Chain A
């Protein structure tokens, strides 16, 4: 059996705010100026579900965010995603975490990127890092245009562990011998599912949990 090292992109490899800016960037660079405003409004409609409160549901928030990109061309999304990765994500990569990724590869662990973002943004980042395996969302396309729906199964904090299990089964990867680098409380299930969880720059709740469960905490 193989083993892998799962790296959450948002919060571990790059600051969370850098990744969450991607849908806003895509919406603000739609082809027509008027549609930029409408799309931005649609993306921002997800805020109540993202905020910590009674509506908090990252899966719903992820779906609503990307509904704002409905009707944008695949060409535009791919090109803007590449631009965003090059200008906003690559310069903000945390060197310590990138070194962890390289070290995992050196020790025979298959590095895998995990993200709530979409493939057009995460793909170029993975290419930059030389990582071939990416678990992230993808927009459904029809006749070269985004339908606004995400391809199932959706990757969000709550559902990430399910995708990871499916991927591990498909690729013959032993999760109990694998590592996961996570940064937020939503990823606690994933951290619990692997043999070597590691918490990187965690939020307050995850830091407390890590202390209770004796998970190592790294500050990038």
Chain B
């Protein structure tokens, strides 16, 4: 048995590896970050310390935001069920909040504070990122590219620096087919060679020089397309990977999840947050819209968020053990072991919509008509007779024709005097309705444009051999906890009973402009305020010390003592 085979068959004791370990995580207020935090608190009981880097936002300090996550986020339900009102005390012993911003050098910490905070950190897990497909390139650059570099700089201050960077499988870009778990630095998805540092400088210059957001997006999209990335999200994530790998100063694992969606089992079945990839598609298919431009045989690589959290934990454990197999790229997806095709996903969505609209409280039109108009895949180049563009033209024509001032011009004076006001009121309503329809159709057109590379143009199979090799090393006891078991995921059950009901509860209301209800914390407002003040005090003292010209080093050390 050679060394490689021997290592591959060696057990990977995950919980034991985290025994006493100190990890720092970013992006804990995001979907995946929250689930990982809950996962770690629940399933890694002997973890030593978890430092969380959180950015204060809209007048709320980092501590307050974290306490809100702990008390109100449904993702933390298992922890609240376990510890109840003692959660803050229990978790407070292990959690350490760093008020920082990944967009700033050293994540906004001064060098002394950063050194003190990182002194005994064993591993940094970088979940923070901007997942918009087409953000302002300035934001994309700051969060996804520079953010990753800043976190790597911070990680390098640790005595034993190790970094787990969460990226996306779609950095594969326009390279279709089987995608290996490999990063060839300086080779873009188009196959062209490029220098990541020059590309970063070019993107920086573009962001600096172009003032209008639309123009910036167009220019950055052109750069992305030239290198084979379909949008700014994959471009910035891909560029970050190349830059991190170029620096090569610390052991680096890149976890690339595919489309991260509703939880299968943890924190509870169906948990989802925010507007993720499939949410807008399910919303669209629950309306009158029927023909989704997509190729039925192409794979839709969806992976439950808890499987991604478990995969990150496995890779993190291997990194903590300084195993050579722990560095490099890990895909986390389903397309190579239990694939779901777009044809099947659309069929299942139509069936889920039937359930959704079949309830007694559904809108009568949805209940008796829309739910029977099942969505179907269609080629992008074959427009239906009433295409989106035609419908928009019609809506605009109605809007223009019913403009009150325009309409009254055509009325004879006698009629205008008697019915003019009534007609004007009706015309105004109709015109507003047509304008709203035009806007909605515009949103749908935009949505389909952004999604087209992923649902129509490309067919990826993300290889997951390296992740599976780690899973194979789990012993029988830890397999249910840290293994994903995705071969046994029944897509029909998942889609109809887990995912779409999850979206219906946690995502679709957002698309309708409604709010998602948060949980009630298991403690009183006074307790929460006292805890926030207590945890915020060292930071406030440090800020005061800085104002007096003192070093914040001692204060920070005191804070972490």
Nearest Cβ on chain A to B323's Cβ, whole angstroms: 39
Nearest Cβ on chain B to A203's Cβ, whole angstroms: 35
B320 CB within 8 Å of chain A: no
Residues of chain A within 8 A (CB-CB) of B350 are 31
Once the chains bind, are A32 and B351 in contact (CB under 8 Å)? no
Once the chains bind, are A75 and B351 in contact (CB under 8 Å)? yes
Nearest Cβ on chain B to A94's Cβ, whole angstroms: 26
Which residues of chain A in 114-159 are interfacial with respect to chain B, using CB atoms and an 8 Å cutoff?
144
Once the chains bind, are A73 and B372 in contact (CB under 8 Å)? no
A76 CB within 8 Å of chain B: yes
Contact of A79 among B372, B373, B376, B496 (CB under 8 A): B496
Once the chains bind, are A31 and B347 in contact (CB under 8 Å)? yes
Residues of chain B within 8 A (CB-CB) of A80 are 351
The SS class assigned to the A binding surface is helix
Once the chains bind, are B344 and A144 in contact (CB under 8 Å)? yes
A59 CB within 8 Å of chain B: no
- A29-B347 CB under 8 A given contacts A75-B492, A78-B492, A79-B496: no
Given contacts A31-B347, A73-B344, 18 further A-B contacts (CB under 8 A): A29-B372, A31-B350, A31-B374, A31-B376, A32-B374, A32-B376, A33-B373, A73-B347, A75-B348, A75-B351, A75-B492, A76-B347, A76-B351, A79-B351, A79-B354, A79-B492, A80-B351, A144-B344
- In this complex, which of B372, B492, B496 has the most chain A Cβ atoms within 10 angstroms of its Cβ? B492
Nearest Cβ on chain A to B203's Cβ, whole angstroms: 44
CA gap between A144 and B354 in the complex, in Å: 20
CA gap between A29 and B351 in the complex, in Å: 10
* Closest chain A residue, CB of each to CB of B348: A75
CA gap between A79 and B374 in the complex, in Å: 13
Residues of chain A within 8 A (CB-CB) of B347 are 31, 73, 75-76
CA gap between A144 and B492 in the complex, in Å: 11
Nearest Cβ on chain B to A121's Cβ, whole angstroms: 16
CA gap between A78 and B347 in the complex, in Å: 12
Residues of chain B within 8 A (CB-CB) of A76 are 347, 351
Which range holds the interface residue count of chain A?
Answer: 10 to 19
Nearest Cβ on chain A to B456's Cβ, whole angstroms: 19
Residues of chain A within 8 A (CB-CB) of B358 are 83
* Closest chain B residue, CB of each to CB of A31: B374
Which residues of chain B in 344-389 are interfacial with respect to chain A, using CB atoms and an 8 Å cutoff?
344, 347-348, 350-351, 354, 358, 372-374, 376
CA gap between A76 and B376 in the complex, in Å: 13
Nearest Cβ on chain A to B391's Cβ, whole angstroms: 19
Residues of chain A within 8 A (CB-CB) of B373 are 33
* Closest chain B residue, CB of each to CB of A73: B347
Contact of B344 among A33, A75, A78, A79 (CB under 8 A): A75
Nearest Cβ on chain A to B354's Cβ, whole angstroms: 8
Going nearest first, the 9 A-B pairs with the smallest beta carbon separation are A79-B351, A31-B374, A75-B492, A73-B347, A75-B348, A32-B376, A75-B347, A31-B376, A76-B347
Residues of chain B within 8 A (CB-CB) of A31 are 347, 350, 374, 376
CA gap between A80 and B496 in the complex, in Å: 12
Nearest Cβ on chain B to A84's Cβ, whole angstroms: 12
CA gap between A73 and B492 in the complex, in Å: 11
Residues of chain A within 8 A (CB-CB) of B376 are 31-32
Residues of chain A within 8 A (CB-CB) of B354 are 79, 83
Q: List 25 A-B contacts (CB under 8 A).
A: A29-B372, A31-B347, A31-B350, A31-B374, A31-B376, A32-B374, A32-B376, A33-B373, A73-B344, A75-B344, A75-B347, A75-B348, A75-B351, A75-B492, A76-B347, A76-B351, A78-B492, A79-B351, A79-B354, A79-B492, A79-B496, A80-B351, A83-B354, A83-B358, A144-B344
Nearest Cβ on chain A to B92's Cβ, whole angstroms: 47
CA gap between A83 and B492 in the complex, in Å: 15
Which residues of chain A in 63-93 are interfacial with respect to chain B, using CB atoms and an 8 Å cutoff?
73, 75-76, 78-80, 83
Residues of chain B within 8 A (CB-CB) of A75 are 344, 347-348, 351, 492
CA gap between A80 and B344 in the complex, in Å: 15
- In this complex, which of B351, B374, B376, B492 has the most chain A Cβ atoms within 10 angstroms of its Cβ? B351
Which residues of chain A in 16-35 are interfacial with respect to chain B, using CB atoms and an 8 Å cutoff?
29, 31-33
Nearest Cβ on chain B to A161's Cβ, whole angstroms: 34
* Closest chain A residue, CB of each to CB of B373: A33
A83-110 Cβ-contact flags toward B at 8 Å (1 or 0): 1000000000000000000000000000
Which residues of chain B in 446-463 are interfacial with respect to chain A, using CB atoms and an 8 Å cutoff?
none
Residues of chain B within 8 A (CB-CB) of A73 are 344, 347
CA gap between A32 and B347 in the complex, in Å: 10
* Closest chain A residue, CB of each to CB of B495: A75
Nearest Cβ on chain B to A27's Cβ, whole angstroms: 13
Residues of chain A within 8 A (CB-CB) of B374 are 31-32
Residues of chain A within 8 A (CB-CB) of B492 are 75, 78-79
Residues of chain A within 8 A (CB-CB) of B351 are 75-76, 79-80
CA gap between A32 and B346 in the complex, in Å: 12
* Closest chain A residue, CB of each to CB of B372: A29
* Closest chain B residue, CB of each to CB of A74: B492
Nearest Cβ on chain A to B377's Cβ, whole angstroms: 10
* Closest chain B residue, CB of each to CB of A144: B344
CA gap between A31 and B345 in the complex, in Å: 13
CA gap between A198 and B433 in the complex, in Å: 65
Nearest Cβ on chain B to A129's Cβ, whole angstroms: 22
Residues of chain B within 8 A (CB-CB) of A83 are 354, 358
A167-195 Cβ-contact flags toward B at 8 Å (1 or 0): 00000000000000000000000000000
* Closest chain B residue, CB of each to CB of A72: B347
Residues of chain B within 8 A (CB-CB) of A32 are 374, 376
